[in-house]
Structures are given as structure tokens and as C-alpha cells.
Amino acid sequence: MAVSVREAERLAAVLYGMSAVATSLPGEYDCNFRLRSSDGKEYVLKCMHPARKASFLEMQCSALEHLRIKAPHLPLPRVQRTRQATLFTEIADSAEQKRLVWMLSFLPGRTLEKTNPLSSEVLENLGWFLGELDAALGMFSHPAVHRELKWDSSRASWIGNQLHRIEDPSRRTLLEYFLSLYDQEVESRRSELRTGPIYGDANDHNVLVSAPWPQPRKIAGVIDFGDMHHGWIVSEPAIAAAYALLGKDNPLGVARDIARGFHRSFPLTEPEIATLFPLIAVRLAVSVVNSAARKEQKPDDPYVTVTENQAWVALERLAKIHPRFAQYALRDACGHTAVPKTEKIKIWITQRRKQGASVVEADLRTAPLHVFDLSVGSSMLGADLGNAEIHKLTRAIFERMQREHAAIGIGRYNEARMFYTSSQYGGDEAHRTERRTVHLGLDVFVVPGTAVCAPLDGAVHLLAENTAELDYGPLVILRHETDDGDEFFTLYGHLTPETLRELKPGQTIARGEVFARVGTLHENGGWPPHLHFQVILDLLDRGAEFPGVARASERSIWTSLSPDPNLLLGIPEKKIGPVESTVEETMPRRRELLGGNLSVSYRKPLKIVRGWRQHLYDETGQAYLDVYNNVPLVGHSHPHVVRAAQEQLALLNTNTRYLHENILRYAERLKELLPDPLRVVYIVNSGSEANELALRLSRAITRCEDTIVLEDAYHGHTNTLVDISPYKFAGPGGVGKKPWVHVAPLADDYRGIYRRGEPDLGVRYAAHVEEICRELQSRGKRPTFIAETLPSVAGQIVFPPHYLGKVYQHVRAARGVCIADEVQVGFGRLGTHFWGFETQGVVPDIVVFGKPIGNAFPLAAVVTTRKIANAFDNGMEFFSTFGGNPVACAVGLAVLDVLQEESLQGNALHIGGLLIDQFKALQQRHPVIGDVRGSGLFLGLDLVESHHTRRAAADQASYVVNRLREEGILAGTDGPHHNVIKLRPPLIFSEADAEQFCAALNRILHEDPAQSAA
Ligand SMILES: Cc1ncc(COP(=O)(O)O)c(C=O)c1O
């Protein structure tokens, strides 16, 4: 190297009076060094390539000085002055070559290239940052900015006569395609593109991102102003996007994020947005041509090909995106209507409605019709997707129409639906997990053979038969023109094959003319007979492949491409009714109507409208694997449980003052599952009500309030239960411990006072309870001991062996009562045993059940001994209005049936075992996993900052569950430090579910914010 590290240190001393240690930095041309001065500050010393001119350096220095003054809020390198107060100076290197030397402050941060994940927030912030930067550079001037630079997007056509350098003909064709797009879309707008000094080099090595925490990460600066030039403003976000999208599955999503951010600080004009996509592509094209040229000169230089391969892949991906769709998507990101002509055409169409534009012979404005709710959350079909099977769906639709005396049924526009189940509606490369669900047309359900007429004058544009499962079947597209000559189309799907035979492309069709007929379910693509009617403003060269269903994340783009057909048809809005409101619309209503401390899960709240087996579905139809909701024990909406509730509710639901078999049957079934002397059953409605009752039962015999609880325990939300729940009374808003409450240390062998590997853990932890019992006994008190048999809220804790056995001995020695709170862990979840207390070899005096007992139906129970029940039976009536009602008991019985019939305890054991093995393997790879614990499908991953200190990694845990949610998996955190990822899925959880969860977890644990600090 022409400048050594030693020399750099000497230069720092001589030129800057700085004593510093230098390390070499990678660079293509110049010799750059990182300096750490004796006062701990860091700098970059740049010894420029001998060919660099002073004017080039002067431009960069004055631009950075300009930005220091005009945009002090932007973190940027600051130029350090020499001892002579100059911004740079000249030296002779070891080869006697003259080099210009300057020094900058060092900017901490991770390069964009090394940032994982490159989230939407970071990308948007990058756009914003560059917009601010260019806005501040607006008034900057320097002669060297007006330079001829091969990277200047306004000069990109130079690559046109360099394409011979690309050997592969298909790659050459790819570049020719993007160059012609550039000619078409960019050259024609030259005069409309604003110019100014731009930074021009936001590549993934030059952009720095802040540390993973705090979230969200921000741009921590950009370095290297060597490509600054006077160019098109819109080149700035285009260049940034071209680099940021390398290696990304969804390049358009990346470009949208950057454009959105840039537009926020430096609003782009519509012509500028129209050039953005071609400019992104052409930047990559320039990059690959440049690499090819450099490779010819320096065949062995790896620096040249750094981004080349990724750039080719990106170009191939971009070529698959229709450029007009890209333009619409980018307009949408910048807050414009996606398709420029949408509003104008909507007005024109709406005016046509007055003339009576219908697609069937009846006038839909006045005809008797039934509007269906086919949304994800519609109760019409239930949660079982099997009900959308063609014959069932057809029957459901036409029976309903018959009942409503309507010959016409309407399926709504812009409605997210669940029944697009075939593979063509699944995820694609850019949207791995997101299915297409949003209906872009309007359905007209009518009997097969019904005549279809043209709502407007038009001409046959296209006839096709799409035979794929759940496709359009036979379809016709008509072409129309507004009075201003704007073209648009209407699509008619699910027709008869004869329709296609009777029409010819180009044939004109007059308004009101019958031109098609509705097909049967055997010929129409496999749907209940109906017409799918859709308006399309731009076919995007897709012809018959134009989608009738879109992804919710692209809803605003597609609904702009396909506006509401009812603008034309005029079915009264009050008949159509509103579509499901979005999260953004729902949140303020919730805040307004409900108590503020009713918390909402996840940074991006979820609106859940359907649950089926181990999945929950949001209002857009996206599925979430439910990994932590232990209430739907046998799966969401289990048909056997649902039927039991529905049938009983349709017959009778009343209180326990009348005799009824259900409560007795249920009490008998529970008793069969419990050991002696647990013989007397009470049925209530919630875990809290059950724990309240358990305390009353205990106090009836002890005649004493004193209660022993464990650290961090939670037993319910009523006054008394908050008093005995350290998680609440010692937490935010809590009023502290009552004198009659006695807290024993949590027998947590990972983070507690005695730890795994030490002897007699159970005995030693139990000794603390013994001490409390002794003290109470000495005051003539009889204690109640209440604990979860495996504490869940305290962090998915598994007690050490013999713990509860010893505790119960001590409590009983003090003539106390032992309550087992099985609200979370009971009913087979643990795999090895049906009840948690069995894992410890004890039998409680009172046992409390809740949550999963009714598979989400309000039901809870308390079971105790005859002796305690007799003491409680003291003359005061026990009555809970809804407790033990016939519906609840029918549900409880159904849950027990399913548990048995589907062998779910065994499944919990099997899948839990697989999960534990996989978690232990992940623990080897990811030091953030401190502990893996649990049993069956009651599992916890304890995340730590370091294995040594076991300091809780709460930020990382919160990050992981929020990222899992983005990946379509619902998990939560628990424990006093909120660092334990809890897993308590429905017991029907499968091997595939376990695989899905572990793969996503592994991916996320590789991301920067999930790393432990150590
Ligand atoms: C261990 C335990 N006991 C009792 C309860 C109270 O149950 P519920 O919310 O049904 O009143 C809960 C609720 O989270 C719990 O976790």
C-alpha cells in the first residue's frame, strides 16, 4: 500500500497534531484509515488517489461544511481542519506521488449491507434522510458539482453502445429492455425533472444504520460524497432503491418504502415518480455494464464484481414487474391515487349510472336482491373452510336467496374473503406468506343461463377460457372509452362456453345488449353460478390473467386499478353495507369506548375475526399460527364443541336452581379424572371466580385470611385475587402487599435463589414456606397456600422435584389448606400428566380449573374435599347465576370428549418433545436463548443478555414476538421481566406447525435486534 498505517499515524500527528492509532479501511481508489485518538475520539484519515484533483476534494469539503450549517440535524461526517486551519493538504507518499489528505469525524453505525433486517422503517427513514439532505443541498453551488459522471442517471444512455461487453444474449436483451424503458419514460420527461446538487451514492456500503436498539433503527449517516453531482433530484431515491433492493424478494416494496420517505421530506412531482422505476433499473444496468468493462481491464479484481451478481438477479426480478404497475405502486407510496385517471373515470362512470347501467336484465338499483356478507369475519359459513366447498357454498347462497325471496344475490367489492383456496391465490416470491383475498369485482349470483348485458357501449376486447381451479372460467373483456377518449375495460367472468363461441374480438356491443350468459358450476371455473363483474382501468398487458382478487397489502393500488363496479350499477349503498373496518379505523373506537388499560397485543395491533383449529385470521384473511393462546385447548371453533353449545343454547340455558343432567354429567366426568379425596364440584364462569370461591372454601375451614403465595404469581383480577397476586399488587398501579399475604420465593431453578445443579432444590425452596407456616402457627393462624402447579405468569416455571410435596407437608402440618391453581396448565397440556399437580406427586385440598376447560367458552370449576365442602355449607347459599349452566356444561363435556377422542395429551407429549429438541439445537446457535423449559405444549424460552449473568433480555423477547407476528405466528412473552417467550398452543399443534415455528424463530434470532448484548 502506498500509504502505510504507520505513515497515517505520522500524518495525523504532523498535520493534525493528533496522537492516534490507525487501522486501514477498505477502499477502491484511495487509502483510508480509521484513527482512534488518545482522547478516545474516532476519525477517518483519507489519503486520496494521486489522480484526484483538488477541485474534487474542495467540492466535497465545502458540501459537508454547507450541510453542517444548513442541516445540523443530519448525522454526517464533519471535516476536520489541519493545524494550518485548511480543509485538506497535499503530501508525497512513499512512491513520491502527490496525494491530497483530509480528515473527517468517524460516524458510528452499521452499513446498510450488514443491517439485518432491512425493515420498512429503516428504508423509509433512508428515503427521508436523503430528501432532507438534498433539500439542504439545494442552495449549494460549486463548479465541480457540474461534472460528467458515468453514474449520473441523466447520462445513463452511454451504456447503449457498451452492451457488446455483456456476453450472455438474454442478459443483453434485459438491458435493452430497460434502456428502451428509459428512453420511453425518462427521456420524454427530461424537461419536467428538477435538477440540483445531489449526494448520488446511497449504496449499501455508504449508508450507515443506527445500533439495533433503541428500535426503530434510524439512518445514522451517509459517507463518501465523492459521487456528488448536479443531477436529477429523483435520481437520489432511485440510486438508493437500486442498492437497497439487492438480494430482496420484494424489490418494489423496497422502492416504495424509500420513495415514501423521500417524498415526505422532498415531495416528488408526478412526472418524477413516473421516472423512478426506470431510473432504478437503469442504475442497475449501468452498474452491470460498468462491472463488465472493469472486468475486462482488471479480470481478477473482486471489488468490481461485488454487486454484479446481485444486480443481475435484481434486474431479472424487476423485469417481471409491469412498469406501469410499478409506477402506480410508487405513486400510491407517495400518497397519490395509484392510477392517475382513476378519479376522472370514476366520475364519468358514476354519471352513466343515471341512464340505468345494468349487467343483468333487471335494474339492480331497484330489483329485490340479497347482499351477502362473504367477508373473512362473516358468520354465514362458520369458521370451517370446508363449508366453502362448491356444493355447500352454492346451497348456502341459493337457499339464503330463496329465503329472502331474492332472485339476485350480490357479493361485494373490496371484500376480503377466505375461500380463494387454490394455489394461484397463494404467496409469491415478493409476498411469501400473504395470500390474495380482496375481491376486486362485484358478484351477481343468479341461476345458470341468466342473460348478461352490457352496462355501457363497448367492443369485445378479449375472449378467453381460464380453466385453472377457482379461476374465471369462460370470460369476456369489453373495451370502453369515455367522452374524453380515456380507455377502460369491464370484465365478465364465469360465463357459459357458448358465450365465447358467439362473440368475436372487436365486435361492438351496445349498452343494454345481451352478449353473454352465466355458466353452471361445472363450466364456470368451479364456483356457485354467478357473474363476476369488474371494472379495469389498465389491463397491464395481462389480458385474461388480470386478477380479480388482490393482496390486502396492495389494496389501494388494485382498487385504484379496479374501482367499485357499483359506481356504475347503483345498488343503494345502504343495501351494500360497509366492508369490515381496518385496524386503523377500529383502534380509535376502541380507545374511545373501552378502558385504557385493556391492553392490545403487538406493536402493530391485530384485528382477529375468525379462528379455526390452530389458526387465527385477521380481517384481511391472513392466517396466524396460534402458538400461545392456551384457551382453545382442542383448537379454535372445534365443530364438536361448537355444536354442543349451539344445540344446548337452542334448547335451554338456565341456572342451577333447577335440576339438570348436564351439570351432573360434567361433575361426574371431572371427578373421574381426579383422585380422592377431591369429590365435590362447583362450577363457575371464570378463573377469577373459581379462585375467589377456592379462597372462600379454604377460609371456611381455616377461619383465617392468611394466605401464602409465590413471588410473581397471578391468580385473577378481583379485589382479593389482586391482593394475593404479587404480579399485580407489586407491579405497576399496585398498592402493595396486605399484612395477611405472605410471599414465598419462587422455586425457579434457573433464575431463583437456588439453582439447577445445587442439591435438594425442592426441599430448600419449600423450607421458606415452612418458615412462614411456623410463624403463622405461632400466632395461632392456619394458612391457605395457593400456587399454580407450574407457574406460567411467573415465566413458564417447572418446579424442582419434591417441591410441592414438601410445601404441602409444611402447610398441612400447620393445619392449612393447599389450593392448586390449574387454570393454565390443566387438561393434558403437559403431555406427561393430565394435571399439573400430578407432576409433583401431590393431591391438593382444592383444585381450580379455568381457561382451557371450555375451549374459550366461559367456564371454570373448583373441586374440593367433602370435609371442606361441608365447612363451606354453613347456611349461606352459594349461587352463581351463570355458573354451571347447561350450555357451559355441555361445552365442558364436549371438550373432554375431544381430548379423549383425538388423544390430545399424547400429541402434546409428542410435539412438545420435538419442540424441546429443536429449541435445544437453536440454543446452541443463538446465545440469546438462556434456558429452554417446560413440558408437553407448555414451554418457555428464557432469553438472556448473557448466559453468565442471566440478565433478562426483555427487548429481544419483545422484538422476537413482534417479528413472529409479522411472519404470521402468534407468540407472547411472560415472566416478571417479560423475557420468556411462552408457547402454549392448542393441543392439536402438528409437526408441520412446530417446523414452521422453529424455522421462523431461527430466522428471526439471526436478526440484529435479537442478539444478546454479550
Ligand atoms: C394462573 C391463573 N389463575 C387465574 C386466572 C384468572 O382467570 P380469568 O381471567 O378467567 O378470571 C388466570 C388468568 O390469566 C391465571 O393465569
Could you tell which of 715, 717, 853, 982 is best to mutate to test the pocket of ligand 1, judged by most ligand atoms within 8 Å of the CB?
715
709 contacts: CB under 8 Å, gap ≥ 6: 715, 724, 725, 726, 741, 742, 743, 744, 786, 787
pLDDT of residue 93: 84
Cα 895 from Cα 773, distance rounded (Å):
39
Can you give the pLDDT at residue 734? 97
C-alpha triplet 113, 114, 120: angle, nearest 5° = 70
| Residue 629, ligand 1, Cβ within 6 A | no
Q: How far is the centre of ligand 1, averaged over its atoms, from the C-alpha of 142 (Å)?
A: 70
CA distances from 124 to 75, 219, 220, 958 (A): 17, 10, 13, 22
The answer to whether the CB of 714 is under 6 A from ligand 1 is yes
Among 631, 686, 688, the mutation site with the greatest number of ligand 1 atoms within 8 A of its Cβ is 688
DSSP structure class, residue 353: H
CB of 789 closer than 6 A to ligand 1?
Answer: no
The amino acid occupying position 922 is: L
- Dist. CA 984 → ligand 1 center (Å): 15
Question: Which ligand 1 atom lies nearest to the CA of residue 860?
Answer: 10
| Alpha-carbon gap, residue 150 to 156, rounded angstroms | 7
Query: Has residue 303 got a pLDDT over 80?
Result: no
DSSP state of 871: H
For residues 155-167, average pLDDT = 95
CB burial string 212-225: b at 16+ within 10 A, e below: beeeebbbbbbbbb
CA of 317 to the centre of ligand 1 (A): 51
824 lines ligand 1 (CB under 6 A): yes
pLDDT tens, position by position, 825-863:
999 999 999 999 999 999 999 999 999 999 999 999 999
> Which amino acid residue places its CA nearest to atom 3 of ligand 1?
715
d(CA 716, ligand 1 centre) in Å: 5
Give the tens place of pLDDT for each residue, 763-793.
999 999 999 999 999 999 999 999 999 999 9
CB 233 within 8 A of CB 212: no
704 C-alpha to center of ligand 1: Å? 23
Tell me the pLDDT tens digit for each residue of 798-819. 999 999 999 999 999 999 999 9
Residue 305 has pLDDT above 80, yes or no: no
CB 974 near ligand 1, within 6 Å: no
From 283, 281, 272, 276, select the one nearest 191 (Cα to Cα): 272
Range 324-328, long-range pairs (CB < 8 A, 24+ positions): 324/538, 324/540, 325/540, 325/557, 326/252, 326/255, 326/276, 326/277, 327/273, 327/274, 327/276, 327/277, 328/538, 328/557, 328/560, 328/561
Q: Which of 851, 855, 882 to mutate to test the pocket of ligand 1 (most atoms within 8 A of CB)?
A: 851
pLDDT confidence tier of residue 28, bands split at 50, 70 and 90: confident
The DSSP-derived string for 417-484 is -S---SGGGS--SSSSSPPEEEE-SEEEE--TT-EEE-SS-EEEEEEEEE-STTS-EEEEEEEEE-TT
What pLDDT is stored for residue 475 in this prediction? 98
Asked if residue 859 has its Cβ within 6 Å of ligand 1, the reply is no
Beta carbon of 716 within 6 Å of any ligand 1 atom: yes
pLDDT at 253 over 70: yes
Q: Which cell numbers in the block locate residue 119?
A: 425493515
- Contact, 796 vs 933, CB < 8 A? yes
Could you tell me the distance, in angstroms and rounded to a whole number, from the CA of residue 658 to the centre of ligand 1?
Answer: 29
Kindly give the number of the ligand 1 atom that is closest to the alpha carbon of 788: 1
pLDDT at 362 over 70: yes
Based on its alpha-carbon atoms, the radius of gyration of the chain, rounded to whole angstroms, reads: 35
Q: For residue 689, which atom of ligand 1 is closest to its CA?
A: 11
Neighbours of 749 (CB within 10 A): 22
pLDDT tens-digit readout, 924-936: 999 999 999 999 9
Left (φ > 0), alpha (ψ -120 to 50) or beta: where does 405 sit?
left
| Res 1: pLDDT | 62
Q: How confident is the model at residue 222 (pLDDT cuts 50, 70, 90)?
A: very high
Read off the pLDDT band of 109 (50, 70, 90): very high
Summarised one tens digit per residue, pLDDT across range 201-216 is 999 999 999 999 999 9
Structure confidence at residue 389 as a pLDDT band (50, 70, 90): confident
Pocket test for ligand 1, best of 599, 790, 823 (most atoms within 8 A of CB): 823
Cell 388482490 sits at which residue?
550
Q: What is the pLDDT of residues 499-529, one digit of tens each?
A: 999 999 999 999 999 999 999 999 998 899 9
What distance in angstroms lies between residue 980's CA and the mean position of ligand 1's atoms?
18
Between the CA of 606 and the centroid of ligand 1 the distance, in Å, is: 22
Q: Which of 380, 424, 427 is nearest to 403 (CA)?
A: 380
DSSP label at residue 524: S
- 789 φ/ψ angles, rounded to the nearest 5 degrees: -75, -25
CA–centroid distance, residue 700 to ligand 1 (Å) = 22
With a cut of 70, say whether residue 1014 has pLDDT above it: no
Q: Is 688 in the pocket of ligand 1 (CB under 6 A)?
A: yes
Question: Is residue 1013 scored above 90 in pLDDT?
Answer: no
* 997-1006 pLDDT, tens digit each: 999 999 999 9
666 C-alpha to center of ligand 1: Å? 21
Pocket flag, ligand 1, residue 788 (CB < 6 Å): yes
DSSP 69-129: HH-TTS----EEP-TTS-S-EEEE-TTS-EEEEEEEEPPP-EEGGG-SS--HHHHHHHHHH
**Considering Cα of 140, then 144, then 147, then 151, what sign does the dihedral take?**
negative
Residue 530 pairs with which residues in a beta bridge? 445
Q: What per-residue confidence (pLDDT) applies to 304? A: 67
Residue 77 Cβ < 6 Å to ligand 1: no
Is the beta carbon of 687 within 6 A of some atom in ligand 1?
yes
Q: Which of 685, 709, 714, 819 to mutate to test the pocket of ligand 1 (most atoms within 8 A of CB)?
A: 714
Strands 741-744 and 707-710, bridge-based pairing: parallel
Q: Is the CB of 691 under 6 A from ligand 1?
A: yes
Residue closest via CA to ligand 1's atom 13 equals 716
| Any atom of ligand 1 within 6 Å of the Cβ of 882 | no
Number of Cβ within 10 Å of residue 450's Cβ equals 22
823 CB under 6 A from ligand 1? yes
Which residue's alpha carbon is at the smallest distance from atom 15 of ligand 1? 715
Cα 265 to Cα 74: distance, rounded to the nearest angstrom:
13
Cα(786)–Cα(804) distance, integer angstroms: 11
Q: Calculate how far, in angstroms, residue 46's C-alpha sits from the geometric centre of ligand 1.
A: 64
Give, in order, the Cα–Cα distances in Å from 998 to each of 627, 917, 967.
Answer: 11, 11, 12
Query: From the CA of 858, how far away is ligand 1's center (Å)?
Result: 12
- 411: amino acid identity, one letter: G
The three-state DSSP-derived secondary structure of 602-647 is: CCCCCCEEEEEECEEEECCCCEEEECCCCCCCCCECCHHHHHHHHH
Q: Indicate whether 306 pLDDT > 70.
A: no
Residue 637 sits at φ, ψ, to 5 deg, of 50, 40
Distances in Å between the Cα of 279 and the Cα atoms of 244, 314, 322 are 14, 14, 14
Is residue 120 within 8 A of residue 96, CB to CB? The reply is: no
Measuring from atom 2 of ligand 1, which residue has the nearest CA? 715
Residue 1007 Cα to ligand 1 midpoint, Å, equals 34
Quick one: pLDDT band at residue 658, thresholds 50, 70, 90? very high
Residue 382 pLDDT > 70: yes
Could you tell me if the CB of 793 is within 6 A of ligand 1?
yes
Q: For residues 881 and 854, give the distance between their C-alpha atoms in angstroms, rounded to a whole number.
A: 17
- Quote the strand ranges of 250-305, DSSP E: none
**What is the per-residue pLDDT for 10?**
96
Reported as a pLDDT band with limits 50, 70 and 90, residue 300 is: confident
| pLDDT at residue 727, as a whole number | 97
Beta bridge partners of 950: none
- Identify the CA nearest to 248 among candidates 116, 125, 427, 151: 116
Nearest atom of ligand 1 to the alpha carbon of 716? 6
For the chain, the distance separating the N- and C-terminal CA atoms, rounded to the nearest angstrom, is 35
User: Angle at Cα 96 formed by Cα 94 and Cα 98, nearest 5°?
Assistant: 110
The mean predicted confidence, pLDDT, of the chain is 96
Residue 813 is placed in which grid cell?
402440618
In angstroms, rounded to a whole number, what is the distance separating the alpha carbons of residues 668 and 249?
57
Q: How far apart are alpha carbons 358 and 576 in whole angstroms?
A: 16
CA distances for 446 relative to 100, 397, 568, 632, angstroms: 81, 10, 19, 39
Q: Could you give the angle at which helices 120-137 and 251-265 cross, rounded to 10 degrees?
A: 40
* Distance from residue 850's CA to the centre of ligand 1 (Å): 7
Q: What is the structure's pLDDT at 755?
A: 97
